Chains A and B, each alone.
Chain A
Amino acid sequence: MTELNLELNKNTTGRYGEYGGQYIPETLMNQLDLMTKAYEHYKNDPEFKTELHDLLVDYANRPSLLYYAKRMTEDLGGAQIYLKREDLNHTGAHKINNVIGQALLAKHMGKTRLIAETGAGQHGVATATIAALFGMECEVFMGKEDTDRQKLNVYRMELLGAKVHPVTSGSMVLKDAINAALQEWATRVDDTFYVMGSATGPHPYPLMVRDFQSIISQESKSQLKEQTGKLPDMVVACVGGGSNAIGSFANYIDEPSVQLVGAEAAGKGVDTDLTAATVERGSEGIFHGMKSMFLQNKTGQINPVYSISAGLDYPGVGPEHAALAASGRAQYVGITDDEAVDAFEYIAKTEGIVAAIESCHAVAYVQKIAPKMRKDQIIVCTLSGRGDKDVASIAKYKGVNIDD
């Protein structure tokens, strides 16, 4: 595996068109300044890069497979479908890519304690895992609603030695977990590094998360070239805050022939109030440290959002996605709960893969679009995580009782 190219992103200003920035309380600004400087330094440091590379390969199990989904391709009868198997990474999702990078940076900055927010629990699990590996303290903030939906991941984090704080403020989901993590960080900045899981928040987070996650498209590009000699015609990934999507897109943004599609969580429907389809339904705003697109009311109060998927129900989207949507370089489409659950069952039965309900939003879009494409065209769809964590809640959604 070639080393991750941390220099891919030439724009390191923290501004993506008019989006991005650092709209965050002053208490945290000095830390962000230090973090920005440290990242600019270490991303060019050969020792840091070697350490990162070794962890990605030897610990996280990279490169992840680019798998030709033959049965799905034949069944849908259109474009050839390749699945980028981030679900096969250690800890079962793409989140580990970014956590290894940020935690390594934290270590080099002399921090001894990691804090993180988590929605579905995958980012929390990844952070708890690396904290254990590095012998660091770890505390994870998770909405009470999500600790109930994802009990298994809560226990998993505790097993790894992390302390999990159920957050009972606001709507008790991912947004509120981020608020709580920011507040905790403001209380204790000196020894603490906030490991942000998505491509959101103030600079330098969207930049770092994109860089660390760009391993996904760096690999898929060379793997597809090896397997077919071609570039994909389309790359599809699910979008909550947008970390796996920005990583899946990064190496294709400058390849105009490659269509980029983000599958947002439409919940009960893009036109209902029970949705998390930020790009389609949202408007420009300033929240959680960034100027971006948000689901909000006219006064600027952030709306509660809904999706069956705990990892996608966030009222905003990373600033680079907002810029890609504004320029038309990427398209964002809403996928409903029902469509995602259908895709969850479909990919299990067709390919023998139980994929995360988040990732199944991307799969559902592939089911729709592949039949409309030519057989010589290629779709790369990122499976951002595995679906074991979702089995119980999908059973419940389908009305199946699996207790005892």
Chain B
Amino acid sequence: MTSKLKPIFKDNKAFIPFVVTNDPDFESTVNNVVALAEGGADIVELGLPFSDPVADGPVIQAADIRALKADPDISTDTFFDIVEAIRKETQVPLVFLTYLNIPFQYGYEKFCARCEALGVDGLVIPDLPVEERGEIDPFAAKHGIDIIPLVTPTSASRIEKIVSKATGFIYVVSSLGVTGERSKFADDLSELVTRIRTVTDVPTAIGFGIHTPEQAAEMTGIADGAIVGSACVNLVAEYGNQAPQKLTDYTKQMKTAIAGQTSKA
């Protein structure tokens, strides 16, 4: 399988912003993703709202609640309708962040087939450790979808097992806990990324807690990309209709900060 995501990291540090689908509504999601693409996002990570996002902190939890409050019976078909509307405006690479129950209920085959058709090239599934990948792997592989594994500072001896199956890119979790802005990251992130690179040439992107340009620069000095969730979600929550402009500006700022970084790890 040839990954569509892996080449994005080739000559370029990737900036990967995140927003929640249907937060606060259908149209805004489309506008916000278009705005991120205009700002120069390399990949946009779209969260599918879940009632009980156990890996997420208060900011993304609140976004999930907003998205579901706006349409309590929102179907997975509607999530795909939103992507379809996005695709009329931009071809920016997309990945979903989803808890496993959503594709499970929709049917893995159908879910991966629709992702392929709409150019959703990867899935980040926080409650799918390497032990359970067999659930969805065959369907993802068939449709050319990368399952993006997460490696955390607690992965320890599990790293080899996790990354040897990786395609697309590897989501390196910056520190313990749930998503949300932080001022401090794990001390041994460089070692973590180095260890990953001894096993695989699949690129790495660091996420959880990054919100300032300085942090993005620091993290892309270690890894091949930076993922920013809560900070973008905050802009969406704070600025409503004005959010697209803010997101474009923010993305430009982050892109500038990481341009020209070379990995020290």
Contacts and interface: CB of A to CB of B under 8 A. Distances in A.
B152 to A, nearest CB: 5
A24 B132 CA distance: 9
A29 B55 contact: no
B104 A285 contact: yes
Contacts of B54: 25, 179, 182-183, 288
Main secondary structure on chain B at its contact with chain A?
loop
A289 B127 contact: yes
A29 B105 contact: no
B128 to A, nearest CB: 7
B204 interface: no
Given A22-B132, A23-B132, A29-B129, A299 B73 contact: yes
B176 A27 contact: yes
Interface residues on B, range: 35 or more
A296 interface: yes
Nearest to B131: A22
A288 B100 CA distance: 11
A299 B157 CA distance: 36
B91 interface: no
Contacts, number: 113
B155 interface: yes
A282 to B, nearest CB: 12
Interface in A258-311: 285-289, 294, 296-302
A299 B102 contact: yes
A312 B57 CA distance: 27
Interface residues of A, number: 36
Contacts of A197: none
Interface in A175-218: 175-176, 179, 182-183, 186-189
Nearest to A203: B131
Interface in A314-371: none
A288 B127 CA distance: 9
A169 B127 contact: no
B101 A187 contact: no
A354 B54 CA distance: 37
Contacts of A302: 51-52, 101
Nearest to B74: A299
A182 B53 CA distance: 11
A24 B102 contact: no
B154 A27 contact: yes
B33 interface: no
B260 interface: no
B158 A300 contact: no
Interface in A8-50: 21-31, 33
B105 A285 contact: yes
B154 A300 contact: no
Given A25-B55, A299-B73, A287 B101 contact: yes
8 contacts: A21-B131, A23-B127, A29-B129, A30-B154, A169-B61, A186-B176, A299-B76, A301-B68
Interface of A: 21-31, 33, 169-170, 175-176, 179, 182-183, 186-189, 285-289, 294, 296-302
